[in-house]
């Protein structure tokens, strides 16, 4: 499935010569321009998270220095775009760290962070919530009263569309113990659940073996959690096996009940059956579809004596909770396209998106190029080039997958002169889409790029660009067209004066959806908010008609249903009585027009009254 061909140049404020933009999308813009959230300012410390709910609302979280203290700020994303940032750790006098954000439908947001209380006082994990329809965050509440020194927490937070949320994070107990192997710390992975009002921390860590030392945490190997439409979750983490070799593990979480530990990165060499692989992954990513299909992508390091000598990228799928195979991963598939020995141009980060049908798309960094690699539970498809060439830095790509292969992808780029920005791609199931390159006015290198999706092909993308006094937080969004849906018409001929037509809700993320009703190409309603419309049968007229409903999103993008048949027959049958000559025999003929175009006459249900009480 080839990507669209670039057709025109985009002039950035930083003059990104050679980078192109493509515009072959449906009517309406699908990729928004970048919005400066904060800056340029030397007080901006870090961009920490971005989240998008199924309905397209969301937000981002970052840290900024105010009056000598580090505080947490959030910018909401609504149908009106990115909103001015607000501080959420209000009333707290010391430094905050490790913020994370999750988003639910209706504008819900939940933010967590660690707040310090000084030497010899245990740091605490806090949270603030923005309810549906609310305009301000509630006051902070404690999640975990003891996260030790709050070091290397690398939290991951995810909220379901209904408002249930899960937070996973590391708590480091010791990094200096002489009994620890070099490069290891004493830590565990904790999990907390938000049920809409209160947080509760699971009684036991989610680790396979909580007493096992773990590799020194990094942003690439920190724990991940993702929620599905039902409010359940999958949590994944890295942990050494019994031979102190890192593996990726996962659990399903059903409400407050954790499932069994499942190993996502196998301990065997994929190129040599029966041979152990004595090296582990150093980076992984987790994606979860609305119906609970999970995908884990990871970068596997080579080991001495292994069948490959360079890092490899793999994806492993955990089938939907509705599948009889939901209890185990299906087996890894290579997505680096580098052959049996791995790519020679340097393997960057690998990330993944997944849909409910088991289809996935991996975003793979290869040197200064980005690849999109599709696949499913059985096979891997042909790779596609994500970027358009010309960049001299690794792309660090992200991908958010929707139904039927719809996706939103992003990657960082810079040219030989140092001009930098973020490349964006929105693609529809029909392989059409739009490209765009965005950057801040002040320019500079892109040091952080983050993305999160609605599960429908939409995405919220945030990035930190510039250095020192030119540091800027910026964000954009990718708006996928409404998803496929169908219209229902009466199965038989309609003989009533009014006809009720109904249709499914078109899946859509960013902004509200309105509907247009077309019958034989004629307009029978625009800007319809509901999922039904009653029309006059006489206005439509007798005959067999084609009904089409178009879903139109806030950006003007349209998705049409397949045509459905509407048959109307308001004209009564014609009766002809003949009695030739003085014959005592009479003939009654009933006619209702051309067969197939009218409902016809049911002879068995037709009677003749002779006027004397007799019928025939």
Closest CA to 37 of 479, 461, 472, 478: 472
Alpha-carbon distance 386 to 370, whole Å? 5
Q: Counting every residue, how long is the chain? A: 616
Residue span of the structural domain in which 582 resides: 574-605
With pLDDT > 70 as the criterion, what percentage of the chain qualifies? 89
Same domain, 496 and 540: yes
Whether residues 547 and 530 fall in one domain: yes
Question: Looking at residue 343, what is its pLDDT?
Answer: 95
pLDDT band at 6 (very low <50, low <70, confident <90, very high): very low
Are 533 and 593 within one domain? no
* Burial classification of residue 597, based on how many CB atoms lie within 10 Å of its CB (0-12 exposed, 13-18 middle, 19 or more buried): middle
**Does residue 505 belong to any structural domain of this protein?**
yes
- Asked if residue 581 and residue 528 are part of one domain, the reply reads no
- Regarding whether 564 and 499 lie in a shared domain, the answer is yes
> By C-alpha distance, which of 153, 411, 157, 100 is closest to 286?
157
538-584, pLDDT tens digit by residue? 999 988 999 999 999 888 888 899 999 999 987 767 777 677 766 66
Determine if the peptide bond prior to 40 is cis (ω within 30°): yes
Residue 582 lies in a domain: yes
In a domain, 374, yes or no: no
Residue 333 has a CB neighbour count (10 Å cut-off) of 21
C-alpha span between 99 and 591 (Å, rounded): 76
Buried/exposed code over 545-582 (b: 16+ C-beta within 10 A; e: otherwise): bebbbbbbbbbebebbbebbebbbbbeebeeeeeeeee
Domain count within the chain: 2
pLDDT digits (tens, 9 = 90+) for 335-374: 999 999 999 999 999 999 999 999 999 999 999 999 999 9
Q: Which residues contact 491 (CB under 8 A, 6 or more apart)?
A: none
DSSP string for 57-124: -EEEEEEEEETTEEEEEEEEEETTEEPPPEE-STT--S-EEEEEEEEEGGGEEEEEEEE---TTS--E
Confidence of residue 22 (pLDDT cuts 50, 70, 90): very low
Please say if the pLDDT value at position 433 is more than 90: no
Phi-psi region of 404 (alpha: psi -120 to 50; beta: other; left: phi over 0): left
The answer to whether the beta carbons of residues 112 and 89 sit under 8 Å apart is no
Q: Is 33 exposed, middle or buried (0-12, 13-18, 19+ CB in 10 A)?
A: exposed
For residues 570 and 490, what is the distance between their CA atoms, to the nearest angstrom? 15
Asked if 152 and 125 count as a contact pair (C-beta separation under 8 A), the reply is no
The pLDDT, as a whole number, for residue 556 is 85
Is residue 541 domain-resident?
yes
Mean model confidence pLDDT for the chain? 89
| Global pTM value | 0.87
CATH of the domain at 553: 2.60.40.10
Q: What is the mean pLDDT of residues 79-96?
A: 94
pLDDT of amino acid 197 = 85
Strand pairing class (35-38; 224-227): unpaired
- Pairing between β-strand 141-144 and β-strand 156-159 as defined by DSSP bridges: unpaired
Asked if 535 and 595 sit in the same domain, the reply is no
Cα dihedral across residues 327, 55, 413, 436: positive or negative:
positive
β-bridge partners, 84? none
* HSE (side-chain half, CA atoms, 13 Å) at 276: 9
pLDDT tens sequence across 483-499: 889 999 999 888 889 99
Structure tokens at 470: 């030119």
Cα 118 from Cα 601, distance rounded (Å): 89
The Cα–Cα gap between 317 and 326 comes to: 10
Three-state secondary structure call for residue 327 = coil
Residue 607 pLDDT class (50, 70, 90 cuts): confident
Using alpha carbons only, give the angle 156, 158, 159 rounded to the nearest 5 degrees. Answer: 155
Q: Say if residues 312 and 277 touch (Cβ distance below 8 Å).
A: no
- The Cα–Cα gap between 197 and 517 comes to 42
Q: What share of the chain is helix, strand, coil (3-state, %, to 5)?
A: 5, 45, 50
With respect to residue 385, please indicate whether it lies within any of the assigned structural domains: no
**Over the stretch 294-330, which tens digit does the pLDDT of each residue have?**
999 999 999 999 999 999 999 999 999 899 999 999 9
What's the confidence (pLDDT) of residue 63? 98
Q: How far apart are CA 278 and CA 272, in angstroms?
A: 13
Cα(194)–Cα(117) distance, rounded to whole angstroms?
Answer: 24
Instruction: Please give the DSSP secondary-structure letter assigned to residue 446.
Output: E
Q: What is the rounded average pLDDT of the residues 261-266?
A: 97
Q: Which of 373, 299, 310 is nearest to 339 (CA)?
A: 310
Question: Of the candidates 556, 568, 569, which has an alpha carbon nearest to the alpha carbon of residue 520?
Answer: 568
pLDDT of 18 strictly over 50: no
Lowest mean pLDDT among 420-434, 450-464, 511-525: 420-434
CB distance 459 to 422 below 8 Å = no
Whose CA is closest to 128, among 106, 157, 153?
A: 157
* 284 in Cβ contact with 335 (< 8 Å): no
561 within domain boundaries: yes
Q: Are 71 and 113 a contacting pair, CB within 8 Å?
A: no
Checking if the pLDDT of 28 tops 50, the result is: no
Other beta carbons within 10 angstroms of residue 30's beta carbon come to 27
Q: Provide φ and ψ at 225, rounded to 5°.
A: -140, 145
Rounded CA-CA distance 156/188 in Å is 14
Give a yes or no: residue 349 inside a domain.
no
Q: What is the DSSP string of 590-605?
A: EE-SSBTTB----GGG
Q: Which H or E element spans position 200? A: strand 199-201
Q: What is the pLDDT of residue 530?
A: 92
Same domain, 579 and 551: no
| 269: nearest Cα among 220, 329, 332, 347 | 332
Residue 399 phi, psi (nearest 5): -145, 135
- In the predicted model, what is the mean pLDDT of residues 48-77? 97
Question: Which of these, 408, 425, 389, lies nearest to 509 by C-alpha position?
Answer: 408
Q: What's the pLDDT band for 597 if we cut at 50, 70, 90?
A: low
Residue 10 has pLDDT above 70, yes or no: no
Domain membership of residue 578 (yes or no) is yes
Residue 73 in this model has a pLDDT that exceeds 90? yes
Q: Say if CB 430 and CB 379 are below 8 A apart.
A: no
Separation CA 241–CA 218 (nearest Å): 18
> Each residue of 126-180: pLDDT tens digit?
999 999 989 999 999 999 999 998 889 999 999 999 999 999 999 999 988 899 9
What does the pLDDT read at residue 118? 65
User: Tell me, what's the pLDDT at 554?
Assistant: 82
């Amino acid at each position: 499935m080839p990507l669209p061909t670039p057709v025109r140049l985009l002039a950035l404020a930083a003059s990104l010569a050679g980078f192109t933009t493509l515009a072959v999308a449906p009517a309406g813009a699908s990729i928004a321009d970048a919005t400066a959230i904060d800056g340029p300012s030397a007080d901006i410390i870090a961009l920490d998270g971005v989240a998008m709910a199924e309905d397209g609302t969301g937000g981002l979280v970052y840290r900024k220095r105010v009056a000598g203290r580090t505080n947490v700020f959030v910018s909401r994303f609504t149908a009106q775009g990115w909103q001015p940032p607000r501080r959420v750790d209000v009333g707290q006098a010391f430094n905050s760290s490790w913020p994370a954000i999750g988003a639910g439908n209706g504008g819900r947001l939940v933010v967590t962070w660690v707040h310090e209380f000084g030497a010899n006082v245990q740091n605490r994990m806090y949270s603030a919530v923005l309810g549906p329809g609310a305009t301000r965050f509630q006051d902070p509440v404690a999640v975990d009263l003891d996260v030790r020194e709050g070091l290397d927490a690398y939290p991951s937070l995810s909220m379901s569309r209904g408002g249930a949320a899960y937070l996973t994070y590391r708590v480091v107990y010791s990094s200096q113990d002489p009994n620890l192997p070099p490069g290891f710390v004493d830590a565990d992975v904790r999990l907390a659940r938000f049920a809409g009002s209160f947080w509760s921390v699971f009684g036991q860590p989610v680790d396979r073996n909580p007493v096992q030392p773990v590799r020194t945490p990094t942003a690439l190997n920190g724990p991940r959690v993702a929620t599905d439409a039902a409010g359940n979750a999958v949590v994944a983490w890295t942990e050494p096996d019994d031979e102190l070799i890192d593996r990726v593990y996962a659990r399903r979480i059903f409400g407050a009940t954790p499932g069994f530990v499942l190993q996502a990165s196998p301990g065997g060499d994929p190129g040599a059956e029966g041979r152990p692989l004595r090296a582990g992954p150093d980076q992984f990513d987790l994606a979860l579809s609305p119906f609970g299909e999970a995908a884990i992508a990871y970068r596997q390091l080579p080991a001495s004596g292994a069948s490959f000598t360079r890092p490899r990228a793999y994806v492993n799928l955990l089938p939907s909770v509705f599948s009889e195979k939901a209890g185990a991963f299906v087996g890894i598939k290579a997505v680096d396209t580098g052959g049996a020995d791995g790519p020679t141009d340097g393997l960057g980060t690998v990330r993944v998106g997944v849909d409910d049908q088991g289809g996935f798309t991996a975003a793979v960094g290869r040197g200064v190029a980005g690849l999109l690699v599709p696949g499913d539970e059985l096979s891997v498809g042909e790779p596609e080039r994500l970027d358009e060439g010309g960049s001299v830095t690794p792309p660090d790509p992200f991908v958010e997958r929707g139904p039927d292969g719809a996706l939103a992808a992003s990657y960082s780029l810079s040219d030989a002169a140092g001009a930098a920005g973020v490349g964006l791609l929105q693609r529809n199931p029909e392989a059409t889409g739009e490209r765009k390159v965005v950057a801040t006015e002040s320019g500079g290198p892109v040091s952080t790029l983050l993305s999160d999706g609605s599960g429908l092909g939409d995405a919220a993308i945030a990035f930190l660009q510039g250095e020192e006094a030119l540091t800027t937080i910026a964000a954009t969004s990718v708006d996928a067209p409404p998803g496929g849906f169908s219209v229902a018409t009466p199965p038989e001929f309609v003989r009533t004066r009014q006809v009720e037509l109904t249709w499914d809700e078109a899946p859509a993320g960013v902004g509200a959806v309105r509907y247009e009703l077309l019958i034989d190409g004629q307009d029978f309603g625009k800007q319809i908010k509901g999922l039904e419309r009653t029309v006059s049968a006489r206005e439509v007229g007798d005959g067999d008609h084609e009904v089409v409903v178009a879903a139109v999103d806030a950006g003007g993008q349209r998705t049409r249903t397949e045509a459905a048949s509407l048959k109307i027959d308001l004209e009564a049958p014609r009766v002809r009585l003949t009695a030739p000559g003085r014959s005592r025999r009479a003939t009654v003929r009933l006619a209702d027009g051309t067969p197939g175009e009218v409902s016809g006459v049911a002879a068995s249900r037709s009677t003749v009254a002779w006027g004397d009480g007799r019928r025939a």
